[in-house]
Structures are given as structure tokens and as C-alpha cells.
Structure 1
Amino acid sequence: MHAATALTFREAAAADVAGIVALVESAYRGESSRAGWTTEADLLEGQRTDPEGVLALVESPDSTLLVVERDGALVACCQLEHRGTHAYFGMFAVSPALQGAGLGKQVIAEAERRARADWGATEMHMTVISVRDDLIAFYERRGYGRTGRMSPFPYGDERFGLPRRADLQFELLVKPLA
């Protein structure tokens, strides 16, 4: 048994956009996503993100897009956005072949550390599709609490995918970082 290879965390650059889009799509859409447990293939078809959206996050002064590499290969990513006293956690993806091995937990921990250290954030916020009970339970085990505060899914905006059901909405999850 070989030792686990160290992960490298760094801020994304414009040159990373295509790889990030491919990673996010592989984790959430289509048949490849079914290899992992975070798939949204039964809920949504179409795209999860696009190069323009990812590049906007890379270039935004209030946003950090973290990429995670192992042996030079992109294996995970997440976005952090500075919103006053809290940070927003989004665009979280782990390569489907590597899901379930603790990589996601490491990425979340690093994101929380950076939000505290870089911005003094006292809370981390995220939104999750409310019918994703397995995913919400994963975040609850990491200390995130359900708020019951819902926001609508952007039906009709194909940049966010093509919904396969009519009851999709986002629930706000919050974790204190103090």
C-alpha cells in the first residue's frame, strides 16, 4: 500500500477554466457523474456551469476559486465569496472516481480555514438543492445547519441546467466559523 500523495491547494487562474468546467460537469452531470454520489443527473440535465461563468469567478475581486491538485492532476475545486461577515461556499466538485475517500472533507476544511484567515469570516454559507437529503446530511456531519430559508431554482435559465422535476429549490445551510 502506497502513501497518500499530498494535495496542492492554489487559486485558479484563467488557464484552469477548461479543466474546472470539465471537473464540475463530470461530478454533477451525465453518466460519468454516476460513478460518484454527488450526481445531479436524476434532477437536472444540460450544463452545470460554463467557461464564461467560471472565468468571471476567477477574475472577481471578492471571489476565490480554489483548485486542488494531486500529482499535477485537477481533482477538486470550490469557490469562496467574501460577503461581509460571512463567506459563501460554492462550485464544490470532487472527481467522481475519488469521491468517498475523504478528499471533500479536506477541501471544506481548507475553505473554512481560508475564509477565517483571509477575510475574518465568522460564518460559512452555502445553498443546496433541498431534495438532496444525502448531500445535506454530509454537510450536517461537517457542522452545517439547515435554516429552512429557501430560494427559488432558476427555472428557464439553461446556464443552470434543464430541470427534470418541478419542485427544485435551494436551502441555505450555515456553519459558525468562530
Structure 2
Amino acid sequence: MHIEFTQAQEQHLEKLVELVNSAYRGESSKKGWTTEANFLDGQRVDIETLREIIGKEDAAILIAEDEDADKIVGCVQLEKQGSDLYLGMLTVSPELQKKGLGRQLLQESEAFAEFWDCTHIVMTVIGIRTELIEWYEGHGFKKTGEKKPFPYGNERFGIPKVPDLYFEVLKKRLS
């Protein structure tokens, strides 16, 4: 497998929707450890949301493409917010999880942060995703103590199966 990292363009959006939704929702997501299928139904992302992200001046979706298979196998949303780089939607194909691609996407994200003169990377993770929060903590992120509400009633983010979902804010200082 030969991975090439590039920025998503309009022609990638349909494949990105398929990848992200397959990694987080539905039966296919249960092949990996990042599934949200036990507490959220519906979509994780749609084409309109992705189009908005890539249309912003200080934002990008970084994609990891397996050039041998001509397939997008990972992605991450990056957006400059003052001196912070917001990192979201870190996705690895369920079949390829636990093989280091998520770590590579984080490293590429840090390179973007440096290019954009950011001093921190900030993200939100659903609070009940303790194993995912621990994974990020193992990569230098720390809980800030800040919590943000989950957008109940907005099916664009999914359909909750459980009450009391919220986002935990994590932050990493860059050297």
C-alpha cells in the first residue's frame, strides 16, 4: 500500500461521504474501533457539509489515498481558528484501523498547523468515547475541561440513540 496525502477537491466528495459514514455509522463501522453505531444512527457527514469545508479559505480536508488501489482510505478536517487548528472528522477505513494511518494523519495535521502558524490543535470528541479520548491523550492531547452540547434535533449530525451526549474538548500544544 502506497499512501499519498493531498487536499480534497470536489471530485473526492462522494467517496469521502462513503468513507466517513462507513467508519462511524452502520454495520460496516463495527469492523473498526471508531464506530459510533451503538449510540448514533443516520449519517455522520454529507456532501453539502464537505463542500462547505473545502470552500473555506483557511480550511481543508486532508485525504489519505492508497495509490495502489486508487482508493481514499483516510481523511481529516482541518480549519485555522485564530492561533488554533481545529481538527475534526479524523477517519480511517475500518479495514485499515490499528495500522498507523490515524497517527500519520495526525502528523500531517501538525504540519498543516505549523504552516498556518498555529500554536495548538483543538478538537471535540463525544464524551462517552473514552477509548478514543485515551488514544488522543496518548498522542499529546489533553482534556481542557470544556464540554460542548451535542446538537440534538439536527439530523445532519446523526440521530442519537442515547441521552446525554456531549463533546469533550481536547487540545494539544505544538512546539
Gaps of 5+ in 1: none
2:162 — aligned with what?
165
Query: Structure 1 vs Structure 2: percent identity of aligned residues?
Result: 47
1:26 is the counterpart of 2:25: no
Distance in 2 between the 1:14 and 1:122 partners?
A: 29
1:145 is the counterpart of 2:142: yes
Distance in 2 between the 1:62 and 1:113 partners?
A: 14
> Cα deviations across residues 8-27 of structure 1 (Å, max 9, x unaligned)?
00011001000000000000
Give the secondary-structure state (helix, strand or coil) at the position aligned to 1:165: coil
In structure 2, what residue type is equivalent to 1:107? L
Equivalences for residues 75-114 of structure 1 within 5 A: 75-114=73-112
Equivalences for residues 3-152 of structure 1 within 5 A: 5-70=1-66, 71=68, 72-116=70-114, 118-152=115-149
1:6: how far off? 2.9
1:124: how far off? 0.1
Across the aligned residues of Structure 1 and Structure 2, the Cα RMSD in angstroms comes to: 0.7
Gaps of 5+ in 2: none
Distance in 1 between the 2:58 and 2:108 partners?
A: 18
1:62: how far off? 1.7
Distance in 2 between the 1:11 and 1:82 partners?
A: 15
Query: Structure 1 segments of 4 or more deviating over 6 A?
Result: none
Aligned residues: 173
Q: Provide the TM-score with structure 2 as the length reference.
A: 0.97
Distance in 2 between the 1:85 and 1:114 partners?
A: 12
In structure 2, what residue type is equivalent to 1:73? K
Distance in 1 between the 2:2 and 2:105 partners?
A: 13
In structure 2, what residue type is equivalent to 1:31? E
Q: Provide the TM-score with structure 1 as the length reference.
A: 0.95
Give the secondary-structure state (helix, strand or coil) at the position aligned to 1:54: helix
1:112: how far off? 0.9
